[in-house]
Amino acid sequence: MTNHLRFFINGEWVDPVVPATLEVIDPSTEEAYTKISVGSKPDVDRAVAAAKAAFPSFSQTSKAERLDLLKRILQAYNDRYEEIAQAASQEMGAPITWAREAQAWAGRAHMEATIKAFEDYDFTEKRGTTMVVKEPIGVCALITPWNWPLNQIVCKVAPAIAAGCTVVLKPSEIAPISGIVFAEAVAAAGTPKGVFNLVNGTGPDVGQVMAGHPDVDMVSFTGSTRAGIIVAKTAADTVKRVAQELGGKSANIILPDADFAVAVQKGVEGCFGNSGQSCDAPTRMLVPAGRHDEALAIAKKAAEGFKVGDPRAEDTQLGPVVSQLQFDKVQRLIDSGIEEGATLVTGGPGRPEHLNRGYYVRPTVFGHVRPGMSIEREEIFGPVLSVISYEDEDDAVRIANDTVYGLAAYVQSQDIGHARKVAARLRAGQVSINYPDWDVFAPFGGYKQSGNGREYADWAIHDFLEIKGIVGYGE
């Protein structure tokens, strides 16, 4: 029997206080394939009370005890790895190969990175006769999104446990099943009662209640900037810490000396990965004005090479976007690109011709996009690339930084020294040079309206800690 209609609170799978359900839609078929229970304030109160009761003892456990717990959770995660991948594929439409190699992999990789960082983490530092101590902040509300469900769940749960915190997790109600499987793995690992709790539900009915709860000491939220603002305002009344990883509109500067065939091809792949549903996707490709048409020809060929279709097929590269709401948003922005005068290079409105159902978007490239157009300003969250001309390097940096966001940026050049200088001028929390592999030990988080705080490895552990100075501690 599944636990889709239950919450995990105080070490047990329990029914909601007030029964209510929500259908989970398979975005490749537009049909419901299961239901989850959705919570309300009484469920949040139960979960927070369990976390609060568990905190005094768990916060005093040794580093060795918490390290052993994380290793057991990792083993339990690996035991359920294929089931986690299948859940992510069905709930969000990720192609099954991508679900295994990126979605499920990300959860495992972050658990391994947290364990490695935790092994080397020092919770005390002597400064003269003062002892500086890092202590767990307390009960943490963790609110995670649908686009990288395992990535964001593990990025929050693992460092919080390493720090000695207790948690209440609300996964996205759009893609909740992988979170339930994760909770089952946490339970199988023998996690002490109340340390980890899960309540499914909507943002207003569960997430916002968690954010404003007086017994929650910290909120860690990943999602849209719009929702992040609501969370921050709600949390402000109780002056709790708020860590946020929000939206992005990342620029990809291709410098004149880059290998254009490689740089543009990989730029398209980076933009379209996860069906374009990544907050750090390089959605604005900046190219020298004199090579704009060359870049468009390469981008067109690259985009038209993607196989869009059934997520269950091993060779599918692009599945659907996650929901009708998301599909409609992407379509609106594609229409706006055409209406505002950008050149539609390939793709465009509607589904690919061979598909008659599912939230599938045609891989789309726009050229001659001007700063200020809707497709240049707004986070689209679909496989839509905007190619923008720049006159010189200063112009490229100005365009890249001219956004309310600042999560990620990208620089392509065959001169690494030159690329580093450009990277230093970009106002973003993470800058990638020449498409490096994903680094789960690098700090991840944003400037400006892309949020605050940092995730991944030791950077994340630090965010779940308070700093205490014991003055007069002695030699």
CA dihedral 422, 427, 433, 437 (to 10 degrees): 170
Measure the CA–CA gap between 201 and 207, rounded to whole angstroms. 8
For the cut 70, the answer to whether the pLDDT of residue 1 exceeds it is no
What letter represents residue 117's amino acid? A
For 365-381, what is the mean pLDDT? Answer: 98
Token duo for residue 154: 């593990």
Token duo for residue 198: 């899960």
Q: Model pTM?
A: 0.97
In terms of domains, do 400 and 435 share one? yes
Does residue 17 lie within any of the structural domains? yes
Does residue 444 lie within any of the structural domains? no
Reply yes or no on whether 140 is catalytic: no
Token duo for residue 116: 């490695």
For the cut 90, the answer to whether the pLDDT of residue 382 exceeds it is yes
Q: Which residues contact 199 (CB under 8 A, 6 or more apart)?
A: 7, 9, 39, 43, 44, 47, 168, 169, 170, 206, 210
Measure the CA–CA gap between 311 and 91, rounded to whole angstroms. 11
For the cut 90, the answer to whether the pLDDT of residue 281 exceeds it is yes
Count up the domains in the chain and report the number.
Answer: 2
In terms of domains, do 341 and 399 share one? yes
The confidence score (pLDDT) of residue 475 equals 82
**Residues in the chain, total:** 475
In terms of domains, do 167 and 280 share one? no
Token look-up 């630090």 returns 462
Reply yes or no on whether 245 is catalytic: yes
* Mean of pLDDT over the chain: 97
Does residue 411 lie within any of the structural domains? yes
Measure the CA–CA gap between 259 and 283, rounded to whole angstroms. 19
Q: Which of 91, 173, 184, 245 is catalytic?
A: 245
- Asked if 271 and 366 touch (Cβ cutoff 8 Å), the reply is no
Q: Which residues contact 262 (CB under 8 A, 6 or more apart)?
A: none
Does residue 311 lie within any of the structural domains? yes
In terms of domains, do 361 and 427 share one? yes
- Scored b (16 or more CB within 10 A) or e, 324-338 reads eebbebbbebbeebe
Report pLDDT digits (tens) over 452-475. Answer: 999 999 999 999 999 999 999 998
Distance, first Cα to last Cα, the chain: 59
CATH number of the domain encompassing residue 15: 3.40.605.10
Report pLDDT digits (tens) over 206-259. Answer: 999 999 999 999 999 999 999 999 999 999 999 999 999 999 999 999 999 999
Does residue 164 lie within any of the structural domains? yes
Q: What is the DSSP string of 36-66?
A: EE---HHHHHHHHHHHHHHHHHHTTS-HHHH
Q: With H, G, I as helix, E, B as strand and everything else as coil, classify residue 319.
A: coil
Instruction: Give the domain extent around 259.
Output: 251-439
In terms of domains, do 98 and 211 share one? yes
Does residue 178 lie within any of the structural domains? yes
What is the percent of the chain with per-residue pLDDT over 70, rounded to a whole number?
100
For 374-379, what is the mean pLDDT? Answer: 98
Does residue 430 lie within any of the structural domains? yes
The single-letter DSSP state of residue 30 is T
Measure the CA–CA gap between 127 and 231, rounded to whole angstroms. 36
CATH number of the domain encompassing residue 308: 3.40.309.10
What letter represents residue 152's amino acid? Q
- Asked if 148 and 156 touch (Cβ cutoff 8 Å), the reply is no
| Closest to 447 (Cα-Cα) out of 280, 282, 286, 287 | 280
In terms of domains, do 319 and 419 share one? yes
Element holding 343 (H helix, E strand): strand 343-346
Q: Which of 112, 279, 379, 455 is catalytic?
A: 279
Measure the CA–CA gap between 124 and 152, rounded to whole angstroms. 28
In terms of domains, do 297 and 231 share one? no
On the CB side of 291, CA atoms within 13 Å amount to: 19
Binning pLDDT at 50, 70 and 90, where does residue 2 land? confident
In terms of domains, do 233 and 311 share one? no
In terms of domains, do 96 and 124 share one? yes
In terms of domains, do 217 and 279 share one? no
Does residue 163 lie within any of the structural domains? yes
Measure the CA–CA gap between 416 and 153, rounded to whole angstroms. 34
In terms of domains, do 315 and 181 share one? no
Measure the CA–CA gap between 41 and 209, rounded to whole angstroms. 6
The confidence score (pLDDT) of residue 164 equals 98
Measure the CA–CA gap between 101 and 384, rounded to whole angstroms. 23
Question: 430 forms bridges with which residues in the sheet?
Answer: 408
In terms of domains, do 335 and 367 share one? yes
